[in-house]
Structure 1
Amino acid sequence: MGTELNRRWESGTHAYSVSDPFGQGPLPWLRSPDQYLAGAEGAVPWYVSVDAPGQQPLSEGVRPKPPVGTPQSSNDVDQQIKGFASAGVIRPGGSVDFRVTVNPPREFTVDVYRIGHYGGDGARHMTSSPLIAGLAQPAPLVVDRTVSCHHWWHSWRLQVPLHWKPGAYVAVLTTADMLHRSHIPFTVRDFADQGHTAELLLVLPDVTWQAYNLFPEDGRTGASLYHAWDGRGGLVGESEAAVTVSFDRPHATAGLPLHVGHAYDFIRWAERYGYDLSYATATDLHAGQVDPSEHRALVFPGHDEYWSEPMRRTVERARDGGTSLVFLSANTMYWRVELSAAASGEPNRLLNCRKRQKPGPGTPAAGVPGAASALWRDAGEPEQHLLGVQYSGRVAAPVPLVARHTAHWLWDGTGLQEGDELPGLVAGEADRYYPKVALPEHTERVLLAHSPYRDLAGRTRYQETSLYRAPSGAYVFAAGTFAWSPALGRPGLTDERVQRATANLLDRLCKN
């Protein structure tokens, strides 16, 4: 993608971005190019579009005007163009159906991009659709707080050529009059390639992406596991939010998931340096479609907060069988969830998690009997039992990551000395070691960072980066901060020492 193609993306109206989300620019879950937004101002959660109903607009001059002739991002109130991918595993040689609504009805096109490192461009254009006749689909169905669009008509089927590589893809929807645009992320997988097994399996956190999805941000019906609308354009919190959300709906605002940038940062960096990757989703992990024994390591590149029991058991067996685990973010495996079938019977299309609510017994969101909440900790299985550290809290403002045990092989070639600081590397959310919580079995263990920060209440807390080796020989690495993946290559956040440390880790896992 050259300069001309890049210009097509620079709408400047994404909920959290200011430029090309697939190139080397800020990504959708950031509101500015150089810092994380850690707190909420008033009633506005940090992940909700400030252009949504009932919210205060950005101050003058913060959001740049889009270039003349560039499509605006569709909004969730008018839904000028919105869509989502149908259920099912998408493989080379297979197909994927897109369900799209266009208001008012008019023709539209679909451009398909693969995320990667293409001479410095963040994605490659793979194909375009012909002009498609768009229609205004029926209103989303709403039951309690659950919003679903599973009844929408199929709009276009993409036949995935056999020569396409597995990977993270994005379908870009653009109205033919070039007024509005939206996005649909999807993953192309290949679990049946007997001739080649990739050393690293990248697991994209689609379950967590849906937990945060507030579609539609219309001030009336949209709901996530965090918030819902009160009907007057304001937001209500977790006590009144959804306990079940559907995969059968677009993502809010620009159509891209919150924190999708973490995964894209890792993909671009890993493909740049030739790491051998396969791709899967958290839903695949849940459904038993992943065989960890075929890979040297499973890599979880971004914020991966919501885990079902099958997901956790599969990963535990992977570690105990000698497959290493790499967690490049923080607040992993925090909430315990269930996946259930949609009304159509399609499996694993509803995400259920009661958080701290009390739904009736026997419902998919009920959780573990007697547990105070849906936290894995309250179910008697703290995440530290697998990760070696666990979630500590939100970071009020980015602070340095303080390196420890710098003689360890992970820090080789970084030039770091004991106590050296990596600016801005503790951001968003952080993990730490809890001395009163049992550790997993290990033959060796080290904390590679110990970094003070202040939480949203102004209290001093500590972030820690962990690495341990299981009796099986598998390594388990937990970065313990949201900022690790962005430091691999995002402009304004790149740190060559994090790049080198990550390479040291993956090289050892691949050669071990």
Structure 2
Amino acid sequence: MAGVRRRRALGLLALGASAATAGALWPPARSRDQRAVAGRLGSFTPAHTGSIPIVSENQAPGSTWPPADSRRPGVDDRRRQIQGYASATSVAHGEAIDFHVAVDPAGPYKITVVRLGWYGGTGARELLTSPELLGEPQPVPTPDPETGALVCRWPISWTLRIPDDWTSGLYQAVFTSAEGWRGYTPFVVRDDRRAAALCVVVPFTTYQAYNQWPLDGTTGRSLYYGYRDGVLDAERRAFDVSFDRPYAGDGWPKHFDRDHDFVCWAERQGYDLTYATTEDLHSGRLDPTRHRGIVFCGHDEYWSRPMRLAAERAVAAGTSLAFLAANSAYWHIRLSPSTDGRPERLVTCYKTSPDPGVDAAGPTTLWRKVVPDGRDAEQGLLGIQYNGIVTVPQSLVVARAEHWFWAGSGVADGDRIPDLVGGEADGIVRGHPRPAGVTGVTLGTASYQNPYRRRLVQHTHLYETPQGGLVFAAGTLFWTMALNRARRRDERIERATGNLLDRMARLR
């Protein structure tokens, strides 16, 4: 593309050297239990080599992520110094993606595109920067009086056609004003040309459900809240939320860091990965049966009927699924196109309110309530389902330590992995469907107290299908933090997750 400057790599870093720097960048904090097993655990080292695009990509020099000179907290939704959104959540090689950017005060800015990954522990690689662009303020739209939807119709600021040599992955567009303010928006580059062993699905429907833009005390709407007298109020929530608007604040979606933790860890291990979004699963652009396994790496709470059917068909065909969070596939949604015909730009969920647009897929409410007999409850797919908010993080108590899942981790039954169960939790819920004709196993449990002081039990669960696939559900929002997060990494969880992905990819 004319005027686009490509940042060329100046050299290559060996994977071994890259891994060696990780301790200095993200030193894992070790509990007493971790120190006790460290001697017999050993280090978890990449075993996956060969002509894998992810491996080659992560040999390139990286860029510190987040940027070392980030002004965080920076951009806010009252002043909106620089914010923007993308025309799609995912794009394939040769396809174009538009960016819509507002700058206040008006002035020059640039857009830099980075790919998130391992890169020796730096976390990202800068790929290109736009020419200097001129931006100006753009209006905040009036919420739809019926649905609360906020749909920006800002002009196109810059168009990027995805080069054929870009590696599939999770990307960020970084908007930087002349005054140094930064805003962000994420997107995924797909690789529709090859079927990697594992496909990572990034939960953009959940990102948008939580998006409160503009977080200004007046206008912003999410599927959770609106505003009443400057205070967040669930009764003023939206029923439709649009991707045609920035994410609140500087543009980092809520829960985005959980996905980045997994991306960094999995790319450090050198797995054969490709990436897609929840919208790709909905539309059929992602066919799960082309892959040996599908990894739902983050908080993946909002699912449409086509998403659910695609996952069920994949399990029936022998494809493995891994849900590395909790509260997955909890709300049923509809996805609709934008007024200009771009697909999957509007997320609809009426939750506990009557749904005036009920179609053959059923009302947009809890999956376990879509039909009166509860047969659509998420437990029928996952093996467990959401059962509460964890007020204080709890230890996961290891069960079935002899199972291949825990092999090489050095654990014994009853060992405690501290602070692994937190945020939200899943467990086995009586009276709701369980996967039929499969072999299931509980690999760990935690007793916790919810905000109503009720004691509940979390489960980490795995089942194997007659077709040879696996379905794993971590049952906690803290799982991926234990793979990569500073002072949260746990070598036992790294080893167990590696065992799981090796089995899914059929490396063992």
Task: Note the 1:263-342 alignment, pairs <5 A.
Answer: 263-342=259-338
CA apart distance, 1:160 = 2.1
Read off the aligned partner of 1:493 and give its amino acid letter.
Answer: R
Taking a change above 3 Å as real, the CA distance of residues 378 and 67 of structure 1, as seen in their structure-2 partners, is closer
What SS does the corresponding residue of 2:143 show, helix, strand or coil?
strand
Kept in 2: contact 1:92–1:165 (CA 8 A): no
CA apart distance, 1:458 = 2.1
| 1:490 matched residue in structure 2 | 485
Structure with higher helix content:
2
| 2:211 matched residue in structure 1 | 213
Is residue 2:231 matched to residue 1:234?
yes
1: CA distance, partners of 2:102 / 2:369: 41
CA apart distance, 1:67 = 9.3
Unaligned runs of 5+ in 2: 1-6, 8-24, 29-66
CA apart distance, 1:135 = 1.4
- Supply the RMSD in Å over aligned alpha carbons: 2.2
| 2:472 matched residue in structure 1 | 477
| 1:447 matched residue in structure 2 | 442
Equivalent position to 1:260, from 256, 260, 266: 256
Taking a change above 3 Å as real, the CA distance of residues 430 and 88 of structure 1, as seen in their structure-2 partners, is closer
Task: Note the 1:12-51 alignment, pairs <5 A.
Answer: none
| 2:195 matched residue in structure 1 | 197
| 2:138 matched residue in structure 1 | 137
Which consecutive segments of 4 or more residues in structure 1 shift more than 6 A? Answer: 66-69
CA apart distance, 1:88 = 6.8
Unaligned runs of 5+ in 1: 2-22, 27-65
| 1:244 matched residue in structure 2 | 240
| 1:57 matched residue in structure 2 | none
Equivalent position to 2:402, from 407, 410, 416: 407
| Deviations 1:250-270 (CA, angstroms, capped at 9, x unpaired) | 000120111111111111111
| Deviations 1:54-76 (CA, angstroms, capped at 9, x unpaired) | xxxxxxxxxxxx99995762111
1: CA distance, partners of 2:143 / 2:75: 21
Structure having greater relative contact order (Cα 8 Å, sep ≥ 6) = 2
What SS does the corresponding residue of 1:386 show, helix, strand or coil?
helix
What SS does the corresponding residue of 2:91 show, helix, strand or coil?
coil
| Deviations 1:438-492 (CA, angstroms, capped at 9, x unpaired) | 2112332100012111111222211100100122221100000011111111101
| 1:177 matched residue in structure 2 | 179
CA apart distance, 1:155 = 0.6
Q: Percent identity?
A: 45
| 1:376 matched residue in structure 2 | 367
| 1:389 matched residue in structure 2 | 384
| 1:343 matched residue in structure 2 | 339
CA apart distance, 1:25 = 10
Q: How many pairs are equivalent?
A: 441
| Deviations 1:385-423 (CA, angstroms, capped at 9, x unpaired) | 000000010000111011101110000111111111000
Kept in 2: contact 1:206–1:281 (CA 8 A): yes
What SS does the corresponding residue of 1:317 show, helix, strand or coil?
helix
Is residue 2:455 matched to residue 1:460?
yes
1: CA distance, partners of 2:115 / 2:90: 17
CA apart distance, 1:344 = 2.4
What SS does the corresponding residue of 2:333 show, helix, strand or coil?
strand
What SS does the corresponding residue of 1:163 show, helix, strand or coil?
coil
CA apart distance, 1:89 = 4.3
